[in-house]
Amino acid sequence: MKQLVTDFPIQLHEALIIGQNYKFTSSKKAFSNVVLTGLGGSGIGGSIIQNYVFDKMKIPFIVNKDYFLPSFVNSHSLVIVSSYSGNTEETTAAMQQALKAKATIVCITSGGKIAETAKKKHLDCILVPAGMPPRACLGYSMVQVLFTLQHFGLIKTNIEKDINGAIKLLKSESKDIQKRAKAVAQKLNGKLPIIYSAPDFEGVAVRFRQQINENSKMLCWHHVIPEMNHNELVGWRDKDAKKAVVILRNDTDYVRVKTRMEINKKVIKKYTSNIIEIYSKGNSYWDKVFYLIHLTDWVSVLLADIRKKDATEVKVIDFLKGELAKS
């Protein structure tokens, strides 16, 4: 897993090549909505892009993490089917509904049943390299979603310029990223991490939570500001040195959100002294997103080392799939 994290900038470069070389067969048309269906490591890229397109797309962009698609999906919908393995039970079920609804479908996968169905039905299917844990392939899948949205004229952005800029940043900051990640991992050891972020970086916060779960083998939770100011903040009442708050921050966070973050720190300090702030670097949105993703990925694998856990192992998920296969 460490090598996969190290190679993240290389993966982004390879993802660009895949996207640039893919030739879409679906014709451009006016859509009324976009639904990305995918779970776990295959779906989190959709959540991050949902944050990105919030103020850029004129139609709804929905991320679906279920067996079922929303009832509004029809022939005027674009459904992006994202499953790294190509065999995700929930995603294959949702894909069948998309077919019945006569939606325009674009698949992003490394193979499996989804690639087979795409070939049979003559659907667009962007293939990414196989043989890795899905959570380690975020760059491959997420970049293809951006190329898909660009192909259909749903976003106007220079993907190549944005991603190449982020790659350059990650390479130049490589040593400092690992140094900062090690310091955070040491502070989180033996603690219950609680991750907070601004709304437009919630996808990144969820990604961090998932990486702590799968790589570090730990429970944690996340919330966003300002929403948590209307509920969770009241839950801070008992002193607990085992809790550690991590706030993901950006110089571009909305000014009122910044103010709330500072007030939240004053409240939370009464109950735990473990408050860690991780500031992003870079100029563009994607600089900041990929910087935080790369740094927090490093936190999760270094924390696994400290805890003497195998960051790659996910036996309990394999057990779950085995039990489901019996029914």
Give the whole-angstrom CA distance, residue 207 versus residue 224.
13
**CA distances (Å), origin 11, targets 17, 137, 142, 288, 313:** 10, 8, 11, 17, 21
CB atoms within 10 A of CB 120: 8
Q: In sequence order, what DSSP letters do the residues of 240-286 get, joined into one string? A: -TTEEEEEEE-TTS-HHHHHHHHHHHHHHTTT-S-EEEEE--SSSHH
The span from the CA of 222 to the CA of 47, in Å, is 14
CB distance 32 to 183 below 8 Å: no
Q: And the tokens for 178?
A: 């690992």
Angle between helices 40-53 and 202-214 (to 10 degrees): 160
Identity at 69, one-letter amino acid code: L
DSSP type of residue 111: S
d(CA 212, CA 244): 13
Return the beta strands (E) in 116-172 as ranges.
124-127
Q: Which residues are catalytic?
A: 214, 230, 321
- Helices 89-100 & 112-121, crossing angle to 10 degrees? 20
If we measure between CA atoms, which residue out of 20, 310, 301, 12 comes closest to residue 151? Answer: 20
The sign of the dihedral angle between the CA atoms of 299, 179, 268, 52 is negative
- Cα separation, 170 vs 58, in Å, equals 31
